[in-house]
Amino acid sequence: MKILIIEDENELADSISEYLSEENYLCEFARTYNQALEKIESFHYDCILLDIMLPDGNGMNILEELKRQDKQDGVIIISAKNALDDKIKGLQIGADDYLTKPFHLSELAARIYSVIRRKQFGNSNTVRQNELEIDLLAKAISVHNLPVILTKKEFDLLLYFIGNRNRVISKSTLAEHLSGDFADMLDNHDFVYAHIKNLKKKLSEAGCESYLKTVYGTGYKWEG
């Protein structure tokens, strides 16, 4: 899988690349607007991470350029701006997702995962891990071909883990992910534990192997 990181901040680009490369992603960089234009013209990427504030141009124009060239690359906008206008405009022009800085790499990985799945597996978007089958489109799972009913939050969590296989994800990161844009204001993260507990219970009751491991006391890791 090829990822293009269009980001002028080297440290950030390097971290993203380091995190993603362990997941069989091949990362390329573009530090400027012009470099980015060159890259998207010559190559195809599975996903493009686009910082819309570049030193020599507006990232929005790159989106427009992609659309003009009729490219099907998935695009996730990464912005320091949490401006709703930009978000809506970006999604309208053809971005697949929008992420506001600062974000967790696990969050980014999960988003990249679902963008790529959506783009490439269109109608039969199913992930399989041994006895566990996840239908991303229908948002349903089955174990040993028997459906298991998950709540919205539990399904969301499961997908997050699948997008971050073999990575340690801390409880606070999960709390941020689950509570969205605003509710991270609550410092009590016990609700994360409740969701995880339920998810684990449902999976094991259905006969699924315990892929979800607890590490360091309050961290989690999906093995597979």
Q: Where do contacts with another protein occur on this chain (CB under 8 A)?
A: 9, 11-12, 15-16, 18-19, 22, 80-84, 100-106, 153, 167-173, 176, 180, 182-188, 190-191, 194-195, 215-219
What does the alpha-carbon distance between residue 150 and residue 62 come to, in Å, rounded to a whole number?
39
**CA-to-CA distance for 170 and 24, rounded, in angstroms?**
22
For another protein, the closer of residues 67 and 213 by Cβ is 213
Q: Tell the smallest beta-carbon distance from residue 95 to another protein (Å).
A: 18
Residue 125 or 198: the one with the smaller Cβ distance to another protein is: 198
Cβ neighbours of residue 208 under 8 Å, at least 6 residues apart? 131, 132, 143, 148
| Bridge partners for 142 per DSSP | 133, 147
Alpha helices, DSSP H only, in the chain? 10-21, 33-42, 59-68, 84-93, 105-121, 152-163, 171-179, 190-205
Q: How far is the CB of 133 from another protein (least distance, A)?
A: 27
Residue 21 or 204: which CB sits closer to another protein? 21
Taking the CA atoms of 141, 142, 147 and 153 in sequence, report the sign of the dihedral they define. negative
State in angstroms the smallest separation of the CB of 103 from another protein: 7
- Locate 146 and state its tokens: 């028997």
Q: What is the DSSP letter of 44?
A: -
66 vs 107, which CB is nearer to another protein?
Answer: 107
Residue indicated by tokens 């961290």: 219
Q: What's the burial of 134, exposed, middle or buried (CB within 10 Å: 0-12/13-18/19+)?
A: buried
Neighbour tally for 84: CB within 10 Å: 9
To another protein, the closest distance from the beta carbon of 21 in angstroms equals 11
Q: Nearest approach, Cβ of 91 to another protein (angstroms)?
A: 15
What's the closest the beta carbon of residue 74 comes to another protein, in angstroms?
20
Which one, 66 or 161, has the nearer CB to another protein?
161
Q: By C-beta, is 149 or 215 nearer to another protein? A: 215
